[in-house]
Structure 1
Amino acid sequence: MPQKPLAFRMRPRTIDEVVGQQHLVGSDKIITRMVKARKLTSMILYGPPGIGKTSIASAIAGSTHYAFRMLNAVTNNKKDMEVVAAEAKMSGGVILLLDEVHRLDKGKQDFLLPYLESGMITLIGATTSNPYHAINPAIRSRCQIFELKPLSPEEVKSALAFALNDKERGFGKQNIQINEDALQHFAEGTNGDVRSSLNALELAVLSSNQDENGMIEINLKTAEECLQKKSFSYDKDGDSHYDVMSAFQKSIRGSDVNAALHYLARLIEAGDLVSISRRLLVISYEDIGLASPQAGARTLAAIESAERLGFPEARIPLANAVIELCLSPKSNSAVMAIESALTDIRKGIIGEVPDHLRDAHYKGAQELGRGIGYLYPHNYETGWVPQQYLPNKLKNKKYYLPKKTGKFEQALSTVYEKLNKSK
């Protein structure tokens, strides 16, 4: 029978062995307190892959000596859950780790709910999706929700060192010499995914030959071969996508060029040209707006260039656009103006179109008073004449409140104020 992977063998047996997630399993933190008090409640653990969701579940089971079972909400069926439920009745309780809990269908959910209510099954749901978006409220309301964070390089390094020294489950019985540069590459190269780091370490050990003294040496070159590219977890439809897009726009709005380029690089690495293009175009009108209206046209030109070029060259016009948008003056006056107008409409503050503005291009319009008294601006030397355009109910309303953050909108503001005084 083949040996189980290193990452599987090194799963923590108790809470004390969990690496990272100290905001949950540190001394006097919530999960540790539950384990010590033996008062477990169902919970949902969410976060990126490989950062300890399954490890914490197995450590809870090991620390409390409850029966521990693992199922997947997609691949396991209702019959598998019935087996777990039967065991829970016999033993007085079972901890069920349910992976991909956000994919739980209604039939399985309805079966589980009574057991969660009675406490016969303590559910530990694991998911990479934000449970507030992805998990059915009936399950979510019965669980505590805990967010797990990617491990720091130091925490990953400690997990690697533990695996290298552990004689029972790791490589402690072998003579392995690993260079500090190689260890650092394993620790930093997976974006906090300790499982990937352990997999890479195992590949390095198994693929290296012993020297005449029985020693296996792992240098940086070997580490790079076994972990050729830094892990980049990015789900286009997942929670992290929206977090990155939000940070991208807020960095441009806040004129932080370096942060904006960082988030652009993440989106480029994910190959998400569609999202980048759409968001940049929105930003050019929503955040820069009338402070620098030419930015919109130049952003569109950069997007069209990027689409024609494709990656990797598309990164160049996109970077140009991002830097310009960051350093452009900002104004959201246009979006605030239309939002204010829409708010009135949605509240029913509308009023009748004034008679002199109504359509008069039909027989009988004059008898109805349509178009009578309308002043045609082009008949006046300045091209403007004071008259009421808004309905009576709104005749003194001002939706547009200009900002003076760019020369263009400063000029608009001067004209706007002059016209308002002349009414």
Structure 2
Amino acid sequence: MHNEPLAFRMRPKTIDEIAGQKHVIGPDTALYRMIKNGHVPSMLLYGEPGIGKTSLAYAIAGSTNLTFIPLNATTSGKKDIERVVDEARVTGKVILFLDEIHRFNKLQQDTLLPHVENGSVILIGATTENPFHDVNPAIRSRCGEILQLKRLGEDDLLVLLQRALQDETRGLGKQVIEISDDQLNKIASGVNGDARKALTLLESLISASDEEDGKVIIEDWLIENLIGRIGVFGDKNGSHHYNLLSALQKSVRGSDTDAAIYYLGHLLESGDLVSVNRRLLVMAYEDIGLAAPEVGPHVLAATDAAIRLGMPEAKIPLANAVIEMCLASKSNSAYKAISAAISSINSGKTGDIPMHLRDTHYAGSEKLGHGGYVYPHDHPIGSFGGWVNQTYLPDTLKNAQFYTPVQAGEEKKSAAIYERLKEFRKKK
């Protein structure tokens, strides 16, 4: 009887046993060839939980004759690093696998980095966070490879499941298990590309199933019940969460309603209503903007309703808002205008405020030369209201244009007025 979980027992022993990740460690990759030729570079492995970072590190070590030392950055101290360095002095070279490397502290770094640099310690770091955001630059600079792993495809997961069912030493091969191809496909499609979840689900199914005449019978309802408990991946403080927010905004911007609703659902299941509401409001004004100005207040009302309702009902007004934004006319002209103005200011392109625009609500303002402002409301112009031809920008920026209208939706009307006013100004 095995004590270790199936997912632990079925870790690949060598790089030839790895399922998936062909873009990183396939037979045609440089990394595969380097390892086969006896050279292991220091590297960072980046990706979501359960997709094989730890397994890949163990497989790389298993493909060499080097000493392999696994540590976790959250629980290891300076003494653990010193032990790795001492081992390297004795054996000449070791592989250090450091999980959660983004939590590596400065004291650990100072102890280890010189030995990574001279090659006596080969560092394989694993992180679920974007290494360009969360891993110390000193570590990154000493890792020749930064490898982003992907979720496993269903075919890769089926390979792992079949291997676990057939392996008599590490897997379940000594048991007689009745499980159909359709049932294996359900497992592979229901774990969101997570190998650890797939193997854990298979092991849980066998533990929960009835045995008849020495044969374990897997039933469909058990698969559906257990898959429903797995949940979705989504650490609301992690990189994947921000990737989901990015995917939601880009799907709305691209008017793909089904994709946007999918990412909204994924985010809501991860449990962070606050950041979803905030992003939806940003999108209403950044991406829909002046082309459909009614959308902003609609989204604000939806997010307010979501906060009052809470989950799970909050999903209903938010779904309304997302679909409305997807199908609305779109303009980013206001976002681009304010970005251009701020960029101009930050680059030093500023000037003095014209005298007629300066504050005159105090005694002595005239002595400073303030005044001469003409009140536009006193000068009606058709149905537009009031307008007068006077200078508003500093003299050094009088010809600057930050706003460029987009010919979409309601902004078409605003664009026509904008262009007409520009013609009026030219007559001055």
TM-score (norm 1): 0.95
1:308 and 1:148 mapped to 2: Cα distance? 39
Question: Offset at 1:230?
Answer: 4.3
Question: Offset at 1:104?
Answer: 0.8
- Number of the residue aligned with 1:330: 330
Output one character per residue of 1:165-207: Cα deviation in whole Å (capped at 9) or x when no partner.
1111111122221122321222122111111211221222234
Question: Offset at 1:294?
Answer: 0.9
Matched-pair contact (CA < 8 Å) for 1:21–1:151 = yes
- Number of the residue aligned with 1:380: 379
Question: Offset at 1:226?
Answer: 4.0
- Number of the residue aligned with 2:392: 389
Distance of aligned partners of 1:412 and 1:89 in 2 relative to their CA distance in 1, 3 Å threshold: same
Deviates more, 1:340-349 or 1:126-135: 340-349
Alignment of 1:197-276 (within 5 A): 197-212=198-213, 214-276=214-276
- Number of the residue aligned with 1:88: 88
Deviates more, 1:328-337 or 1:196-205: 196-205
User: Partner of 2:200: helix, strand, or coil?
Assistant: helix
- Number of the residue aligned with 2:339: 339
2:75 and 2:90 mapped to 1: Cα distance? 25
Structure 2 letter corresponding to 1:67? T
Matched-pair contact (CA < 8 Å) for 1:51–1:149 = yes
Q: Return 5+ residue gaps in structure 2 as ranges.
A: none
Question: Offset at 1:297?
Answer: 0.8
Q: Return 5+ residue gaps in structure 1 as ranges.
A: none
Matched-pair contact (CA < 8 Å) for 1:287–1:332 = yes
Distance of aligned partners of 1:355 and 1:220 in 2 relative to their CA distance in 1, 3 Å threshold: same
Distance of aligned partners of 1:90 and 1:296 in 2 relative to their CA distance in 1, 3 Å threshold: same
1:204 and 1:361 mapped to 2: Cα distance? 78
1:381 and 1:296 mapped to 2: Cα distance? 30
Distance of aligned partners of 1:62 and 1:421 in 2 relative to their CA distance in 1, 3 Å threshold: same
Question: Offset at 1:379?
Answer: 3.1
Question: Offset at 1:272?
Answer: 1.8
- Number of the residue aligned with 1:154: 155
Question: Offset at 1:381?
Answer: 4.2
Structure 1 letter corresponding to 2:102? H
Matched-pair contact (CA < 8 Å) for 1:189–1:231 = no
Matched-pair contact (CA < 8 Å) for 1:179–1:220 = no
Question: Offset at 1:146?
Answer: 0.7
- Number of the residue aligned with 1:411: 413
Question: Offset at 1:265?
Answer: 1.0
Matched-pair contact (CA < 8 Å) for 1:181–1:219 = no
2:82 and 2:364 mapped to 1: Cα distance? 78
Alignment of 1:115-194 (within 5 A): 115-143=115-143, 144-194=145-195
| % same residue | 52
2:413 and 2:171 mapped to 1: Cα distance? 71
Structure 1 letter corresponding to 2:146? I
User: Partner of 1:229: helix, strand, or coil?
Assistant: helix
Matched-pair contact (CA < 8 Å) for 1:190–1:196 = yes
Question: Offset at 1:396?
Answer: 2.3
